[in-house]
Amino acid sequence: MATAKPQSAPERQRDREATMRLLIDAVGRVLARQGFREVKVNVVAREAGINKVLIYRYFGGLDGLVAAFAHNGDFWPDLDELTGGDREAFLALPLVERLVVATRNYMRGIRRRPLTQEILAWRFLEHNALTEALDSVRQSVGMQIMALVRSGLAVPPNLDIAALYAILGGTINHLSVRERTEETFAGLPLDDEATWERLEVMLARIIRSVLGNED
């Protein structure tokens, strides 16, 4: 007869901002701990300790939540990181060495970010707000670093610099993503730091060879 009295839950503090924060953080934790395949409404809500209805109410669904997460993280090396922090010193280098430095720092930057590796793998499967956001940032940074590498210097005319970039970036992305789940590639132990030094050396050698042979 009497009205139902569910009132079992501890009743959080009714703070929308804090709740949204909890949900966004939970995305990062699930992503880091269990991988992108576990980034689901029920799982994230449980992780956050928040009722999943609020994901729909505040973010319009999981996509919106993931988008909010995307705008909130440091998923990509920025210009300073790619150049090594000292912009002047970077610009003092010749074209070839600029590219060597930027490539090396790019690889280190990706490997330093497990979440980015996770998202890179995610992108192989599907597009979503997170991978789109990541891509837009990468594209932006990519354009900037390309401009910075060649700024003030003449690029060899018959060099397909875009193809070279694609090959270098593709390799780094592939090996970084692969490192998550496999311990070797082409016989190289990816779990050994020495392997990555060898790869750095070879990438530098490739760049110097290709650009050095220019006339």
Partner DNA sequence: GGTATGTGTCACCGGTCGGTTACTTTGTCA
Partner DNA sequence: TGACAAAGTAACCGACCGGTGACACATACC
**Binding interface with DNA (CB under 7 A):** 3-16, 18-19, 40-43, 50-54, 56-57, 61-62
The smaller minimum CB distance to a copy of itself, of residues 57 and 205, is found at 205
User: Which of a copy of itself, DNA, none interacts with 116 (beta carbon under 5 to 8 A by kind)?
Assistant: none
Q: Within its chain, how far is the Cα of 130 from the centroid? A: 10
In whole angstroms, what is the distance from residue 93 CA to residue 56 CA? 51
**188 φ, ψ to 5°?**
-90, 130
Rounded Cα distance between 110 and 88, Å, is 24
**Can you tell me which of 28, 64, 114, 142 binds a copy of itself, judged by CB under 8 A?**
142
**Residue 91, SS3?**
helix
Cβ proximity to DNA, 8 vs 213, nearer residue: 8
Tell me the H-state helices in 35-86: 41-48, 53-59, 62-70, 79-83
| Of positions 18, 125, 153, 155, contacts a copy of itself by CB under 8 A | 125
Shortest CB 5 distance to a copy of itself, Å: 42
- By a kind-dependent CB cut-off of 5 to 8 A, residue 53 interacts, out of DNA, a copy of itself, none, with DNA
Residue 207: CB atoms within 10 Å = 22
Among 16, 71, 87, 127, binds a copy of itself (CB under 8 A): 127
The closest of 36, 51, 55 to 118, measured between CA atoms, is: 36
Q: Does 97 bind a copy of itself (CB under 8 A)?
A: no
- Residue among 80 and 214 whose Cβ is closer to a copy of itself: 214
